[in-house]
Structure 1
């Protein structure tokens, strides 16, 4: 990793917003933006009881590539991104992205770019489990 990319990882263990905030700590940054994605209790009108995330073996490398590309588009920021794998319950944190910059506008723009790019291109798939016993895969190619 370089000085701009502070944290970029897939994790089976619970994620920590404090870890991401610490990674983004920078004396030149007046603005820090952090986005937490949590498992919600519903999707498309169906109650969700939990889900599982599976990552393709290339997902780590792809996540780092996405982080570097976002950094190239936003050279004035420092970045962090972590995503869970494995089984998660409703309310657990599934993904955290963050950006820090001298000014808030740059941090907000970079954080939005990072989460949107990660969700669109990193091969991580979600199996939602509904309370009626059915399930659904989301994000498959």
Structure 2
């Protein structure tokens, strides 16, 4: 890790697209523990502890923007273009409220397939948006995401 350029935890945010693969459970689990596909297991190993875990959000085809510790039940809802447009205002409002309460992060790492960017269109168009690192390959993009986290000192 490159700690010389360490980004304070409060100054970074990780946004991850949800995954079809989920833990087999009948009870609600924290989102970070429920999602089990793509890069999420590797990300959970690296960022699954406070305070980093507190800076992870999921872009859910069912729920919109979800904090890593939000309890969720297993669901099966793929993101399609209609649903992405439908969720966009909800995600924009949630991010706006969060940034108003805690401040705009300096950098955001987005690990999500291209369709998930529709949910983030308002953030991407914001005139004072933070630096955004986008890893479009949720399945095999972990090495690229890990390199970004290395530069953050996370």
TM range, smaller chain: under 0.3
Q: 1 or 2, which has the higher helix percentage? A: 2
Q: Give the TM-score normalised by the residue count of structure 2.
A: 0.25
Q: 1 or 2, which has the higher strand percentage? A: 1
